């Protein structure tokens, strides 16, 4: 079930072939995909939003906002959400708009904002399909990296016979399946990822922790799942849903995180330590709430150092295991990250900088410098954490092959 959990954005435009789309939506849903449908205004004359929303179990979007309550259908969010966008049927008009960036409807706006692979399945009458402007638009769209699902030859709605029929839903499904199979480059790999903060109790109601939101670690888990890996996510307390398909182990303290990792690490091919582990814990946790001293001084908190999880695990690593850690530095960033990389026996380190606006804790975006112990390094731009997760996994792929 390679399509299970895949987020598919379907753009339907005004072609008679839109009648085939409910069947394709049904097939995708049966495979366990999540389907979000956008229709052009013209498409609504060919197939009803009601049929499509019922089958996809989501509201169908036809405009940039809901005219009743004014809520905005964010094309940027949808473009980031999708693992794949399929424009089918793609009318001559929609092809022209996509090729030329004419973003006057939600479908084309979302297409321009999409960061995922895009498949385009044109459908039109044979002469429209043969017209030089249509041919040129398709060529342009292919030159931008879009994938073409070429129309079939056969009987057309006009009564003519020739190329222009939308490919059959079963075949489109197969093409999408094959595409995802092809990018399952981490199939069979067991990946252990840590995420979020650790929380070290002081007494039954108070704790020491940090601002980690877990977003980076969860994005990494989601990306590894997309690439076909078997992912265990050991997570401190965060308010994020577990990516579908991961084995989630929830922990609170650094000690619990270490123990959870120790159970899984031996059988893992890769460890990515994205959690922000507290360096210290309280030496003696009070079993009752520490009372205010009423002016008679302040309570002293005796701290002891927590175990260094990555160092502890890397000391018992097997041949071929790959370990990546994270460093969040405020000063001497590169030098500190490099020294951590070496002293903790890691293969690579991802450096976040708190000095970079939009990067680091709690944000939806990040910017990282990735350093491999061989000296290979890469600095990303500021991107959504999902995109950064992709860069990190690409870097791991590259440095596993070229250690
Ligand atoms: C009955 C009928 C069938 C149509 N079928 C197609 C078609 O298969 N392909 C196409 O490119 N246009 C077709 N059109 C024309 C489009 O609906 C029209 O160009 C529309 O503006 C497309 O807008 P859109 O791409 O924004 O949905 C058809 C029009 C009608 C009335």
Beta-bridge partners for 350: 326, 370
Q: Residue 16 gets which letter from DSSP? A: G
Find the DSSP H helices in 121-190: 126-130, 132-143, 169-182
Between CA 37 and CA 9 the distance in angstroms is 6
Same domain, 241 and 142: no
In this structure, the answer to whether residues 157 and 282 fall within a common structural domain is no
Q: What is the CATH number of the domain that holds 277?
A: 3.40.50.10300
Task: Give me the pLDDT at residue 66, please.
Answer: 79
Task: Judge residue 259's burial from the number of C-beta atoms within 10 Å of its C-beta, 0-12 exposed, 13-18 middle, 19 or more buried.
Answer: middle
Does residue 391 share a domain with residue 303?
yes
Helix locations, 284-384, DSSP H: 309-314, 333-343
Is the residue at 279 inside a domain?
A: yes
Question: 389 with 255, same domain?
Answer: yes
Quote the DSSP letter at residue 170.
Answer: H
Task: Judge contact between 368 and 343, C-beta under 8 A.
Answer: no
Instruction: Please tell me the distance between residue 89's alpha carbon and the centre of ligand 1 in angstroms.
Output: 10
Report H helices in 9-91.
21-30, 49-56, 75-81
- What is the set of active-site residues? 210
In a domain, 81, yes or no: yes
In a domain, residue 1? The reply is: no
| Mutation test residue for ligand 1: of 46, 63, 93, the one with most atoms within 8 Å of CB | 93
Which band of pLDDT confidence, cut at 50, 70 and 90, is reported for residue 354? confident
Q: Is the same domain home to 232 and 136?
A: no
To the nearest whole percent, how much of the chain has pLDDT over 70? 99
Identify the domain containing residue 134 by its residue range. Answer: 7-182
Tell me, yes or no, whether 135 lies in a domain: yes
Residues with CB under 6 A from ligand 1: 13-17, 40, 42-43, 91-94, 123-124, 128
Same domain, 151 and 259: no
In a shared domain, residues 304 and 369: yes
Whether 229 and 169 share a structural domain:
no
**pLDDT per position as a tens digit, 65-120:** 777 787 887 887 888 899 999 999 999 999 999 999 999 999 999 999 999 999 99
Cα(100) to centroid(ligand 1), Å = 18
What is the per-residue pLDDT across 252-295, written as a single tens digit (0 to 9) for each? 999 999 999 999 999 999 999 999 999 999 999 999 999 887 77
343 & 203 share domain: yes
d(CA 183, CA 390): 12
Encode pLDDT of 362-378 as tens digits.
Answer: 778 889 999 999 999 99
Residues 218 and 286 grouped into a single domain: yes
Q: How many domains does the chain have?
A: 2
148: CATH: 3.40.50.1950
The pLDDT value recorded for residue 403 is: 44
Residues 283, 177 within the same domain: no
What confidence category does residue 197 fall into, taking pLDDT thresholds of 50, 70 and 90?
Answer: very high
**DSSP-assigned beta bridge partners for residue 365:** 384
Of the residues 182, 202, 235, which one is the last residue of a structural domain? 182
What value does the mean pLDDT of the chain take?
92
In the block, tokens 């939101």 appear at 213
Looking at the domain assignment, is residue 118 inside a domain? yes
Last residue of a domain, one of 162, 182, 202: 182
Q: Which of 125, 159, 182 is the last residue of a domain?
A: 182
Instruction: Please tell me the residue having the least CA distance from ligand 1 atom 13.
Output: 15
**Is residue 2 situated within a structural domain?**
no
Does residue 76 lie in a domain region?
yes
Residue 393: inside a domain, yes or no? yes
233 and 160 within one domain? no
CA distance 138 to 150: 10
Using the atom order of ligand 1, give the atom closest to the CA of residue 39: 27
Residue with the two structure tokens 């036809």: 62
d(CA 395, CA 190): 17
């Amino acid at each position: 079930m390679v399509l299970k959990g895949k987020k598919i954005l379907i753009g339907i435009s005004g072609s008679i072939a839109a009648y085939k789309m409910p069947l394709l939506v049904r097939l995708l849903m049966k495979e366990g995909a999540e389907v979000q449908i956008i229709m052009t205004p013209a498409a609504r004359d060919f197939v009803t939003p009601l049929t499509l929303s019922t089958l996809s179990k989501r509201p169908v979007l036809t405009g940039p906002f809901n005219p009743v309550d004014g809520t905005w259908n964010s094309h940027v969010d949808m473009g980031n959400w999708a693992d794949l966008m399929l424009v089918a049927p793609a009318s001559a008009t929609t092809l022209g708009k996509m090729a030329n960036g004419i973003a006057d409807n939600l479908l084309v706006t979302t297409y321009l904002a999409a960061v995922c692979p895009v498949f385009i399945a044109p459908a039109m009458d044979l002469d429209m399909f043969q017209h030089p402007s249509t041919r040129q638009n398709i060529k342009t769209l292919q030159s931008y990296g879009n994938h073409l699902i070429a129309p079939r030859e056969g009987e057309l709605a006009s009564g003519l016979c020739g190329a222009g029929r939308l490919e059959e839903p079963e075949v489109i499904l197969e093409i999408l399946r094959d595409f995802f199979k092809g990018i399952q480059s981490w199939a069979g790999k067991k990946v252990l990822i840590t995420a979020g903060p650790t929380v070290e109790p002081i007494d039954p109601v108070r704790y020491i922790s940090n601002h980690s939101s877990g977003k980076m670690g969860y994005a990494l888990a989601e990306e590894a799942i997309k690439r076909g890996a078997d992912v265990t996510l050991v997570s401190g307390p965060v308010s994020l849903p577990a990516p579908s398909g991961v084995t989630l182990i929830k922990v609170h303290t650094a000690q619990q995180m270490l123990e959870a990792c120790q159970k899984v690490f031996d059988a893992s091919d890769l460890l990515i330590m994205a959690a922000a582990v507290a360096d210290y814990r309280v030496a003696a946790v009070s079993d009752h709430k520490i009372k205010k001293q009423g002016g008679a001084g302040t309570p002293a908190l005796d701290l002891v150092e927590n175990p260094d999880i990555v160092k502890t695990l890397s000391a018992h690593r097997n041949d071929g295991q790959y370990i990546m850690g994270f460093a969040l530095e405020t000063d001497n960033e590169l030098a500190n990250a490099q020294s951590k990389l070496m002293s903790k026996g890691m293969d690579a380190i991802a450096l976040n900088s708190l000095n970079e606006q939009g990067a680091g804790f709690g944000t939806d975006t990040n910017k990282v410098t990735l350093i491999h112990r061989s000296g290979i390094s890469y600095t990303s731009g500021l991107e959504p954490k999902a995109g950064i997760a992709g860069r990190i996994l690409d870097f791991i792929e590259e440095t596993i092959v070229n250690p």
